[in-house]
Amino acid sequence: MAGNSSSDALGLQSATALLEMLAARSVSSVELLDHFIERNVLLGDEINAIVSLDLERASELARASDQRRAKKQVGGILDGLPMTIKDAIAVEGLRSTGGAVELAEHVPSKDAEAVAKIKAVGGIVFGKTNLPRWSGDIQAFNEIFGTTNNPWNLKCGPGGSSGGASAAVATGLTPWEVGTDIGGSVRLPAHFAGVCGHKPSYGVVPQLGYIDHVSYGVSDADINVFGPLAKTVDDLELLFDVVSGTRRDIQSGWQLDLPSSRGPAKDLRVASWLDDADCPVSEAVSNVLETAISAIEADGVAVNRSARPDVAFNDVRSVGLPLISAATSPGRTEEELDALRQVVDDPSSDESIRMRAKSSTMSHRDWLLLTEQRDKNRHLWSKFFEGFDVLLAPVAFVSAFEHQHEGTLYTRTLSVDGQTRPYSDLIIWTSQFGYVYLPSTVVPVGWTDDGLPVGIQVVGPYLGDRTTLVFARYLENLLGGYRIPPIANI
């Protein structure tokens, strides 16, 4: 972890460093919790990342952890570490809304399975972080809690949907976070806020307790995953290890045993796909990514810049985005669904909006046919990763952009390099790999000339999470990784 400051504030340390301090008893759990609360008081109004708190119970758990450590009776590898959880994930006894007014006062009676895993090894959940309604945007704002700001530029958002999570991690309001990702909701915020994020292979982290519609909690959403955000790749892997594993209801017959990395980082076979005519990358982002690839090559790692899978890039528009729209459709109200059906019947409707409408209201037969095409593409990706171990790609075609609250995902636009671009294209580079279930680790690799962070995706074969994490750690060490936003030096 690199920094642009010599600040030694506890909140700006990595989670791994804080756990070492707890183990050495150079800091107590109570002191850590108090520190994070104080930082949230000082920065909360400007950032607005943590939106619900459970301080009484967190304080009680922190005191109990300190007593255990005094008796050398550590309760687990995270014992006494305070942290927050995205508000799309159920936490027992703590308001969990999904960003939706229908659940504005909802308090779950049980934890999401991933949260239960964290608590079982001593983690202390003291708050929830902001997001858009039902995690359905690339910004973090909703009618209940308002807008989360990017610590690098308060006029911009920190990404979405796990935007409160990325902003809180970047500014040291929490040591790390668990977010969700269906179209890029871990990876995009990591890129926009300058932190690390890992989107696991689909199915390796239990997602029961994901609040994506009112009657949530009894089934897994297609494509969606739970994944960590943190300051360092070491932190990502530690938290990933805690939350990954089989669901409770199948543990009697199934266990997760992810393969080790395919090798040391510098021995891996690396390809890069840094631009595509279907979704051109801005000059500012492209410059940072090209500099990063040149640094990798100068360090002795060969990068194949032309290798591509036999999957058409724009399949993400005809297969990936429709599957994502279908997976998010349970959050639509009946009124919204009626309106979408009218759009389907209107041939004059905008093409992107009509695609969304068709996907949200499609028949089961149509969904199965799309899934068949998805499975064909998964086989083609598997074939690609027989010849390569990781693929480096953009996270988004731009860096952080100014807040946009009017319109929707499919009606907003962005002005980039003198051109008007569809706002919905923000999820093209992330959805490209998400709908086919591949793991992807994001790490900061540089900053634009106007001071905004840029991340890169390290994509690997299905279940190749260890490999993407190993190469992301190499990039972090080579290029510096996380930096402290100036606003966080308090």
The 8-class DSSP code of residue 282 comes to P
| Same domain membership, residue 265 and residue 353 | no
| Same domain membership, residue 234 and residue 148 | yes
Q: Is residue 5 pLDDT above 60, yes or no?
A: no
Q: Is residue 7 pLDDT above 70, yes or no?
A: no
Q: Is residue 285 domain-resident?
A: no
Q: Is residue 250 domain-resident?
A: yes
pLDDT, mean of residues 129-140 = 98
| Same domain membership, residue 254 and residue 139 | yes
| Same domain membership, residue 448 and residue 407 | yes
| Same domain membership, residue 359 and residue 332 | yes
The total domain count for the chain is 2
CA distance 365 to 367: 5
Q: Is residue 40 pLDDT above 60, yes or no?
A: yes
- Cβ atoms within 10 A of the Cβ of 376, count? 14
What is the token pair recorded at 417? Answer: 């390099």
Q: Is residue 277 domain-resident?
A: no
- pLDDT single digits (tens) 417-439: 999 999 999 999 999 999 999 99
**Residue 8 CB partners (closer than 8 Å, separation 6+):** none
Out of 286-295, 356-365, 476-485, pick the least confident: 356-365
| Same domain membership, residue 431 and residue 347 | no
Buried-exposed string 202-223: b where 16+ CB fall within 10 A, e elsewhere: bbbbbbbbbbbbeebeeeebbb
Query: Which residue shows structure tokens 């309106």?
Result: 339
pLDDT of residue 339: 87
- Domain end (from 372, 400, 420): 372
Out of 206-220, 224-238, 345-359, pick the least confident: 345-359
| Same domain membership, residue 330 and residue 229 | no
pLDDT, mean of residues 147-172 = 98
The CATH number of the domain holding residue 234 is 3.90.1300.10
Q: Is residue 8 pLDDT above 90, yes or no?
A: no
Q: Is residue 41 domain-resident?
A: yes
CA distance 400 to 452: 7
Q: Is residue 291 domain-resident?
A: no
| Same domain membership, residue 364 and residue 398 | no
CA distance 78 to 74: 9
**Residue 1 CB partners (closer than 8 Å, separation 6+):** 14, 231, 232, 476, 481, 482
pLDDT, mean of residues 11-33 = 98
pLDDT, mean of residues 477-489 = 98
pLDDT, mean of residues 317-323 = 96
pLDDT of residue 344: 87
pLDDT, mean of residues 162-188 = 98
| Same domain membership, residue 196 and residue 70 | yes
| Same domain membership, residue 239 and residue 143 | yes
| Same domain membership, residue 317 and residue 253 | no
Q: Is residue 479 domain-resident?
A: yes
Q: Is residue 345 pLDDT above 90, yes or no?
A: no
Q: Is residue 377 domain-resident?
A: no
- Residue 417 Ramachandran class (φ > 0 left, ψ -120 to 50 alpha, else beta): left
Q: Is residue 244 pLDDT above 70, yes or no?
A: yes
What is the token pair recorded at 331? Answer: 């959050």
Residues 478, 18, 194, 155: what is their CA dihedral angle, to the nearest 10 degrees? -160
Q: Is residue 105 pLDDT above 70, yes or no?
A: yes
- Cβ atoms within 10 A of the Cβ of 298, count? 9
105 three-class SS: coil
| Same domain membership, residue 243 and residue 197 | yes
pTM above 0.75, yes or no: yes
CA distance 67 to 102: 40
CA distance 71 to 69: 5
Domain that holds residue 182: 10-272+391-488
pLDDT band at 1 (very low <50, low <70, confident <90, very high): low
Catalytic residue annotation = 86, 161, 185
Q: Is residue 396 domain-resident?
A: yes
Name the average pLDDT for the chain: 96
